[in-house]
């Protein structure tokens, strides 16, 4: 901890006024003196004039040294004037991070507001190891008490929730003995650790997903170059599998690019108003051949039209495509997929919601998986998803698009009874006073 200094340190103090003005005043004073000497008869007028001119020339030449830039006072040492214990406590209180001041006997003498919020109210003189159940921190304080210099340790807390902290321990008072105090400053690293873990997982997952089809491609190439070189039938079959794997890799790269594009724009809301009805209908129609191939009937019910929202047409089409594709892929045993577009009133001053629900009657999703489905690469059954050509990015893309649109995605499912994925968006313009709250924008 670096305490603030009240002194101006080694900054130079300068005389006031500009050097030119000060020179003019000095020359004026000299002129006055020589005039007096001349009038009093002490100097002959010519001698007085010559003496004045000589002295003026000398003073002007030497002026920068004599009066221009010489420091008026010596640099003051970098000291903290008047810092006492109450200043120290006020300073600790002002810190945004939790901190404790402990004595050399490892008793807590003070906690700041942030520490009270984190650890609850601590009685003065309570032992540090009662307050922080982290032996690493107590050991660090002991080391600093012994004069071994500042220490930084990280520790992990499991209760009530998993959290990572970094504790910095330093001596903060100069005196030795019972009055000396040591600072234990805590920094919550949980969020940083979570982001770091997500980043590492993401890289590991992405490389794994790319490596699998790549390994398969390399295997087939080697077989075609070797044992199957002259086997026309095998060549046909292998090339087909290779094409599937290559398409899979290309889709994975497209999905990754989509995700990072949407993330880059996450803070910018789309700037156009679009009607959801034709978008939903168009995507459903485009999915018909895929559904028919799986023996699934797609039914679309548009209850009202137009249903205008502030949105990006392509991104919204991607949301519906990913949801319908999943419903067909995972719920084909149910035989049909229903898509519904409706408006739904919401309480208070909130605008009506435009709701699109994609429902299937397949095997459904066990409840413990539902909260994690929108994580990148998360799949209930990895092998089955891979068999179906899935990469586990579809719902992550949906979630990111919804975040950008300030919308929500809800998932309802009961095992054995299918699943319903709904997206909620604010209706823009149109009817009623509720709707007026939406940003009025030009229709696309």
Ligand X SMILES: Nc1ncnc2c1ncn2[C@@H]1O[C@H](COP(=O)(O)OP(=O)(O)OP(=O)(O)O)[C@@H](O)[C@H]1O
| Interface contacts to Mg ion, rule CB under 5 A | 326, 394
- CA-CA distance, 442 to 37, in Å (whole number)? 91
| Residue 334 DSSP one-character state | G
Strand 336-344 with 297-302, pairing: parallel
Start-to-end CA distance of the chain, whole Å, equals 57
Cβ burial of 324 (10 Å; 0-12, 13-18, 19+) is buried
Please identify, using beta-carbon distances, which residue of 7 and 333 lies nearer to ligand X: 333
Question: How far is residue 381 from each of residues 88, 168, 252, 395, measured CA to CA in Å?
Answer: 57, 44, 18, 15
331: nearest Cα among 372, 287, 371? 287
Strand 408-413 with 353-360, pairing: unpaired
Of these partners, Mg ion, ligand X, none, which one is at the site of residue 327 (CB under 5 to 8 Å by kind)?
A: ligand X
Q: Which two tokens stand for residue 70?
A: 């010489």
Please identify, using beta-carbon distances, which residue of 110 and 361 lies nearer to ligand X: 361
Minimal distance, residue 394 CB to Mg ion, in Å: 3
Minimal distance, residue 145 CB to ligand X, in Å: 54
Please identify, using beta-carbon distances, which residue of 104 and 325 lies nearer to Mg ion: 325
Please identify, using beta-carbon distances, which residue of 219 and 389 lies nearer to Mg ion: 389
323: nearest Cα among 373, 256, 384? 373
Of these partners, ligand X, Mg ion, none, which one is at the site of residue 409 (CB under 5 to 8 Å by kind)?
A: none
**Which residues of this protein are in contact with ligand X, per CB under 6 A?**
255, 322, 326-327, 330-331, 360, 362, 365, 373, 378-381, 385, 390-396, 419
Of these partners, ligand X, Mg ion, none, which one is at the site of residue 434 (CB under 5 to 8 Å by kind)?
A: none
Please identify, using beta-carbon distances, which residue of 304 and 375 lies nearer to ligand X: 375
Minimal distance, residue 392 CB to ligand X, in Å: 4
Please identify, using beta-carbon distances, which residue of 245 and 385 lies nearer to ligand X: 385
Of these partners, Mg ion, ligand X, none, which one is at the site of residue 334 (CB under 5 to 8 Å by kind)?
A: none
Of these partners, Mg ion, ligand X, none, which one is at the site of residue 422 (CB under 5 to 8 Å by kind)?
A: none
- CA pseudo-torsion sign 362, 366, 367, 373: negative
- CA-CA distance, 425 to 354, in Å (whole number)? 5
Please identify, using beta-carbon distances, which residue of 91 and 378 lies nearer to ligand X: 378
Minimal distance, residue 344 CB to ligand X, in Å: 22
Of these partners, ligand X, Mg ion, none, which one is at the site of residue 291 (CB under 5 to 8 Å by kind)?
A: none
- CA-CA distance, 365 to 175, in Å (whole number)? 65
Minimal distance, residue 238 CB to ligand X, in Å: 24
Closest residue by beta carbon to ligand X: 394
Angle at 425 between CA 420 and CA 430, to 5 degrees: 130
Question: How far is residue 353 from each of residues 317, 322, 390, 427, measured CA to CA in Å?
Answer: 18, 21, 31, 5
Of these partners, ligand X, Mg ion, none, which one is at the site of residue 385 (CB under 5 to 8 Å by kind)?
A: ligand X
Please identify, using beta-carbon distances, which residue of 326 and 422 lies nearer to Mg ion: 326
Q: Which two tokens stand for residue 126?
A: 């309570």
Minimal distance, residue 286 CB to ligand X, in Å: 16
Phi, psi for 12 (deg, rounded to 5):
-85, 140
Minimal distance, residue 162 CB to ligand X, in Å: 25
Minimal distance, residue 364 CB to ligand X, in Å: 6
Of these partners, Mg ion, ligand X, none, which one is at the site of residue 277 (CB under 5 to 8 Å by kind)?
A: none
């Amino acid at each position: 901890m670096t305490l603030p200094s009240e002194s101006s340190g080694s900054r130079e103090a300068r005389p006031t006024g500009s050097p030119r003005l000060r020179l003019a005043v000095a020359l004026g004073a000299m002129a006055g003196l020589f005039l007096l000497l001349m009038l009093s008869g002490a100097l002959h007028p010519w001698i007085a004039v010559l003496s004045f001119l000589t002295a003026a020339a000398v003073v002007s030449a030497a002026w920068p040294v004599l009066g221009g830039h010489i420091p008026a006072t010596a640099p003051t040492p970098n000291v903290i004037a008047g810092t006492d214990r109450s200043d120290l406590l006020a300073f600790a209180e002002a810190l945004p991070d939790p901190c404790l001041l402990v004595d050399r006997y490892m008793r807590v003498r003070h906690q700041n507001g942030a520490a009270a919020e984190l650890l609850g109210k601590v009685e003065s003189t309570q032992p540090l190891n009662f307050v922080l159940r982290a032996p690493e921190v107590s050991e660090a304080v002991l080391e600093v008490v012994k004069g071994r210099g500042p220490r930084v340790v990280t520790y992990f807390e499991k209760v009530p929730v998993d959290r990572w902290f970094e504790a910095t321990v330093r001596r903060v008072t100069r005196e030795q003995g019972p009055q000396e105090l040591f600072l234990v400053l805590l920094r919550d690293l949980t969020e940083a650790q979570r982001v770091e873990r997500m980043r590492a997982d993401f890289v590991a997952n992405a490389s794994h997903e790319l490596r699998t089809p790549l390994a398969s491609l390399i295997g087939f190439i080697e077989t075609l170059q070797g044992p199957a070189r002259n086997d026309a039938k095998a060549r046909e079959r292998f090339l087909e599998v290779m094409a599937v794997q290559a398409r899979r890799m290309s889709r994975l790269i497209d999905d990754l690019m989509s995700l990072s594009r949407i993330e880059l724009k996450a803070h910018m809301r789309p700037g156009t108003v679009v009607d959801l009805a034709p978008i939903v209908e168009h995507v459903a129609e485009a999915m018909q051949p895929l559904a028919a191939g799986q023996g699934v009937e797609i039914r679309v019910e548009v209850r009202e039209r137009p249903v205008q929202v502030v949105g990006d047409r392509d991104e919204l089409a991607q949301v519906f495509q990913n949801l319908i594709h999943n419903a067909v892929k995972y719920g084909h045993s149910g035989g049909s997929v229903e898509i519904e577009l409706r408006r739904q009133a919401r309480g208070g001053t909130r605008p009506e919601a435009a709701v699109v629900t994609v429902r299937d009657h397949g095997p459904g999703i066990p409840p413990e998986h539902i909260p994690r489905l929108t994580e990148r690469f998360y799949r209930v059954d990895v092998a089955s998803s891979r068999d179906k050509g899935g990469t586990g990015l579809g719902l992550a893309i949906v979630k990111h698009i919804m975040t950008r649109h300030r919308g929500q995605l809800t998932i309802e499912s009961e095992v054995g009874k299918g699943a319903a994925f709904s997206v909620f968006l604010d209706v823009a313009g149109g009817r009623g006073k509720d709707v007026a709250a939406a940003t009025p924008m030009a229709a696309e």
